[in-house]
Amino acid sequence: MLTRALAATSSLWPPLETAYGWVHQAAHLLANHEKLAGEQVRAQYQQLLGQMEAQKSSIGALSKAIDHFRKITESFAPGLFHCYDVTDLPATNNALEQCFASARYHERRATGRRGAIPGVVVRGSVRVLATVTTRLHPLSAAELCPPDYHAWRHLRKQLTYREEARRQRFRFRKNPAAYLAKLEERLLQ
């Protein structure tokens, strides 16, 4: 029975082997065992995609799968190669999501909240980065000092703006009539 099945499907195997070879080669390039820079990995990967496009007619019905593979790769391409240039940046979405989930879990444990934590919503870009960084290695006082004072002031201004917007929403929810009356009064002045 197995021999008959293999004989009946023998024409389907060469395209599968070719496509599997391409996927295996793509995985090898993305694993980056040679420790190449992100731009070098990108160039090799683009070369592989060009080879796949040029030879996709040789795999018959699987050519639609190659089109899909290229489409998905192009949608991920802008952020796909950063992990080779940035130390300790997780290479996959799963690893990155696990990192953020761990930070969210510890934040919830520390605050006792179940849902979204307002501090993370308002100061998320700073708090999550601080949480992830301090788990990798403790920071010294010298590392806590901002290297670019103007960028630090700009970030503080953004955070203050978000906090104020959140306060205004809270005031509106608490007493909509009084909030709208105050706005109308300011408008008429």
Q: From the first residue on, what is the mean pLDDT of each consecutive set of 10 residues in the chain (189 residues)?
A: 82 83 88 86 90 84 86 83 78 74 76 69 66 74 82 86 81 83 87
- The confidence score (pLDDT) of residue 116 equals 65
* Residue 42 and residue 9 share a domain: yes
For 25, 58, 113, 122, the CA distances from 19, given in Å and listed in that order, are 10, 10, 48, 46
Query: What is residue 99's predicted lDDT score, i.e. its pLDDT?
Result: 75
Tokens of 163: 């906090």
3-state DSSP assignment of residue 32: coil
Q: Clarify whether residues 17 and 27 are in a common domain.
A: yes
Give the sign of the dihedral formed by CA 87, CA 93, CA 95, CA 99: positive
List the domain range (segments joined by +) for residue 110: 91-145
At residue 27, what is the residue type?
A: A
What's residue 104's pLDDT? 75
- Nearest alpha-carbon partner for 38 in 86, 88, 90, 92: 86
pLDDT in the model for residue 111: 73
Measured CA to CA, the distance from residue 160 to residue 163 in angstroms comes to 5
| In a shared domain, residues 78 and 13 | yes
Both 19 and 77 in a single domain? Answer: yes
How many other CB atoms sit within 10 Å of the CB of residue 83?
Answer: 19
**Into how many domains does the chain fold?**
3
| Residue 87 DSSP SS3 | coil
Contact 152, 125 (CB under 8 A): no
**150 lies in the same domain as 102:** no
The continuous run of DSSP H or E covering 167 comes out as helix 149-174
